[in-house]
């Protein structure tokens, strides 16, 4: 069995801004981040146990009751903060304190310990050339380690795909993700021809990227539907 549903009740997410201390106008960046997090809280209200909120200036966190929409949430935050780069640690586990529905401050327990482990892993390994780099990592104090390794490998591949995007590819791909319509609609918004959109999506591995996101969502949904181990 992968995970026990009675033991793994929440998904804690800790995110932070890469190289934030080197940025000018940090106050404006934090204001923008708060606005983006407010939009995520509103759009994904049914998933959220405690709302995303800025905690340590350059860091933010949220608590979710289910995980299937985590890739979409992360994408929404990334698009809203572009071109600022972010990293995300996801922890699966219990919460041992009271939960404030409005904001994820004060909540604590194994879910947040695991999320902190995940984001520290990302920070510590960014400068190690032989370690696969990723923007997102999932950890749990309990559970099937091989299953988590597969999820984290897909997140690494997603990061590798995004690294191939030029500014123009990112702009068109994220527009497609935001509107969830078709290539003709994207072409009309950008005042270009549909074949140009198709070429951009192909060079950016868009459909592979989308399949990977769907796989992650299904995997995180499957964690919560697991039965208790006997």
pTM, two decimal places? 0.88
Mean pLDDT over each residue of the chain, to the nearest integer: 87
What letter does residue 228 receive in the DSSP assignment?
P
Contacts by 74-77 with C-beta closer than 8 Å and gap 24+? 74/135, 74/136, 75/174, 75/177, 75/213, 76/36, 76/39, 76/40, 76/43, 77/15, 77/36, 77/37, 77/40
pLDDT tens-digit series, residues 123-148: 888 777 655 578 999 999 777 788 89
Q: What percent of the chain shows pLDDT beyond 70?
A: 89
Question: Nearest CA to 78 among 7, 180, 170, 205?
Answer: 170
Domains of the chain: 10-144 (3.30.70.270)
pLDDT for the residue numbered 27: 81
pLDDT for the residue numbered 141: 78
Phi, psi (rounded to 5 degrees) for 180 = 55, 45
pLDDT-derived band at 230 (thresholds 50, 70, 90) equals: very low
pLDDT for the residue numbered 216: 94
pLDDT tens-digit series, residues 78-109: 999 988 999 999 999 999 888 888 887 878 89
């Amino acid at each position: 069995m992968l995970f026990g549903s009675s033991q793994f009740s929440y998904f804690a997410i800790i995110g932070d801004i890469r190289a934030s201390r080197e940025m000018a106008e940090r106050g404006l960046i934090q204001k923008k981040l708060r606005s983006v997090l407010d939009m995520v809280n509103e759009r994904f209200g049914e998933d959220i146990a405690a709302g995303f909120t800025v905690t340590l200036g350059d860091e933010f966190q949220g608590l979710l009751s289910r995980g299937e929409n985590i890739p979409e949430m992360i994408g929404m935050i990334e698009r809203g903060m572009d071109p600022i780069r972010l990293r995300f640690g996801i922890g699966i586990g219990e919460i041992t304190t009271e939960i404030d529905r409005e904001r994820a401050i004060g909540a604590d327990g194994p879910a947040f310990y695991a999320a902190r482990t995940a984001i520290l892993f990302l920070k510590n390994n960014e400068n190690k050339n032989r370690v696969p780099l990723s923007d997102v990592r999932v950890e749990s104090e309990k559970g099937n380690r091989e299953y988590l390794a597969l999820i984290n490998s897909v997140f690494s591949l997603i990061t590798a795909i995004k690294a191939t995007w030029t500014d123009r590819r990112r702009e068109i791909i994220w527009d497609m993700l935001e509107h969830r319509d078709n290539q003709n609609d994207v072409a009309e918004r950008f005042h270009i021809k549909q074949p140009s959109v198709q070429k951009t999506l192909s060079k950016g591995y868009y459909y592979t990227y989308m399949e990977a996101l769907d796989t992650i969502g299904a995997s995180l949904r499957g964690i919560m539907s697991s039965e208790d181990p006997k």
